[in-house]
Amino acid sequence: MEVGAVGAMRFVKDGIRAAKLVMQHTQHTMLVGDQASAFAISMGLPGPSNLSSPESMDKWIKWKENHCQPNFRKNVLPSDSCGPYQYHIKDSIDYDKTCSVNNLMQTYGSVTSHVDRHNHDTISMAVFDRMGHIAVGTSTNGACFKIPGRVGDGPIAGSSAYADNEVGACGATGDGDIMMRFLPCYQVVESMRLGMEPRLAAKDAISRIARKFPDFVGAVFAVNKNGKHAGACYGWTFQYSVKSPQMKDVQVFTIVP
């Protein structure tokens, strides 16, 4: 239950080290924005730095030339430009009734995920030491073309990663805006606590999301305290890697939807 996290942090490259500093040297759990950057730099991390690359600048320029499409805005006008945007709700939608299951499914089912294997870079990892202690970590640049200020599932304990020495660990990747609503890694670890095998625990967590959001893309890996591991995915083919002292090299496992 020791947790450190940073979100919406700019100008500092090493998010994982910054998060670890929050865990080790503060009584807080999460720092965000420019103050997270200032904290990380004050604790000795390099910065402020320009983290843009020629590739990222080229991608941004082409996105602007394409009228800032795709983007993550909804119920705004204009819908096909870079704004400025104005609040708008379609006359055909009765928002007093959107809490019904049918209306929710109609709304969510029509949303196509902006996440695929070509535009995300989440890395989630679980490590066991010789004493059986487990640590997990997640690092990401976030969703491509996200709205400034967006924080995804990366720093949310129980969403992108979770661990308990008594049970095991989980890591996740994919459409964080959807997955964070379900805390899938917390669900995986708690399912394993109740006796579920890693394969079934991972599949169950992904299925819970898919039932509500049939267009989402994501995956989880699960590993119990004895080292038994598995993965589950939806919307893409997922790969995770494993390395142990008994193995000569890293082994890559491929999981199909």
* Residue 111: band (very low, low, confident or very high) from pLDDT cuts 50, 70, 90: very low
Q: Decide if 242 contacts 251 (C-beta within 8 A).
A: yes
pTM: 0.87
Over residues 19-36, mean pLDDT: 98
Asked if pLDDT for residue 241 goes beyond 90, the answer is: yes
- Choose the weakest-confidence range: 100-104, 125-129, 134-138, 214-218: 100-104
The full set of domains in the chain, from first to last, is 5-42 (no CATH), 55-109 (no CATH), 123-255 (3.60.20.30)
Q: Which residue has the higher pLDDT, 15 or 91?
A: 15
pLDDT value at residue 142: 86
Catalytically annotated residue among 26, 98, 107, 122: 122
Q: What is the 3-state secondary structure (H, E, C) of the chain?
A: CCCCEEECCCCCCCHHHHHHHHHHHCCCCEEEHHHHHHHHHHCCCCCCCCCCCHHHHHHHHHHHHCCCCCCCCCCEECCCCCCCCEECCCCCCCCCCCCCHHHHHHHHHCCCCCCCCCCCCCEEEEEECCCCCEEEEEECCCCCCCCCCCCCCCCCECCCEEEECCCEEEEEEECHHHHCCCCHHHHHHHHHHCCCCHHHHHHHHHHHHHHHCCCCCEEEEEEECCCCEEEEEECCCEEEEECCCCCCCCEEEEECC
Over residues 187-201, mean pLDDT: 98
* Residue 116: band (very low, low, confident or very high) from pLDDT cuts 50, 70, 90: low
For the stretch 85-98, pLDDT in tens is 998 876 545 555 54
Is 122 a known active-site residue?
yes
Over residues 216-226, mean pLDDT: 96
Average pLDDT, the chain: 90
pLDDT value at residue 79: 87
Asked if pLDDT for residue 141 goes beyond 50, the answer is: yes
